[in-house]
Amino acid sequence: MVLRLTLILLFVMTVNVATAKEVQCLADMAYIEARGEGSRGIKAVTDVMFNRIKSPKFPSTVCSNYYKRGQYERAGAINKTPGVRQTEAYKRVLNQVSSEYKSFINGTHKDSVNGALFFNATSNHPIRNVSYRMRLGSHHFYR
């Protein structure tokens, strides 16, 4: 009985650590990619990540998508800026994406980007060989 309870507790702790890491990767990505876009922009880039996780063409976790070579040019850049995770701006992003992640896990998430799997800044050249979905703020979204 004690062993079983210990294993259950260990499992719950492991799940919580994994979830916290996923949320941090999501917050890092949203902060770097859309911190100037407001809550709609943050939701949009977060939704792209969720669409990727659901797609068999991409890795099945936030962190594996975020750190996949060639996907997010500035992945990990936040680690080179000491103290950024303690700023109010980052905390606002973290709070929003935590809520978005919870709704995604619970199956109540609503996609705001029409199934988009990619986005880029409007100042960049359009992405080729994909279907244009929409523009929001300074980003274009594609599938």
Per residue in 38-73, pLDDT (tens digit) is: 999 999 999 999 999 999 999 999 999 998 887 877
Per residue in 99-140, pLDDT (tens digit) is: 999 999 889 999 999 999 999 888 888 888 999 999 999 899
* 3-class secondary structure per residue, the chain: CHHHHHHHHHHHHHHHHHHHHHHHHHHHHHHHHHCCCHHHHHHHHHHHHHHHHHCCCCCCCHHHHHCCCCCCCCCCHHHHCCCHHHCHHHHHHHHHHHHHHHHHHHCCCCCCCCCCCEEEECCCCCCCCCCEEEEECCEEEEC
